[in-house]
Structure 1
């Protein structure tokens, strides 16, 4: 089945069914990478340690995002 045929069939589905299809397709693209997760965890721990040691200062969320 070609891509165009799959899309044509998917469009015929009810909105909730289309959402389910889209969600499953997107989930299939977002596979966790344990190595990247490990690197980010190490980085987060280094940043927290530096913050707690007073080596870096935090920035208030309002300064970054503005008023909520």
Structure 2
């Protein structure tokens, strides 16, 4: 970790909890991450896309049991 970042972290850890919470909120906001409604919308779109693929028989369904069995076989030592 760069020295400047380490110094900032050391200083921030000395702040009261409410100030650290505020700082974390500001840092997270600065990352421009998708909001929960955006994430929910994207998951709904993905679910609809997958349902359509299943209905059009474009994908082969595999049980979770088989998937995990295959994984265990593949990575068994």
Q: Give the TM-score normalised by the residue count of structure 2.
A: 0.38
Larger relative contact order, structure 1 or 2 (CA cutoff 8 Å, min sep 6): 1
The higher radius of gyration belongs to: 2
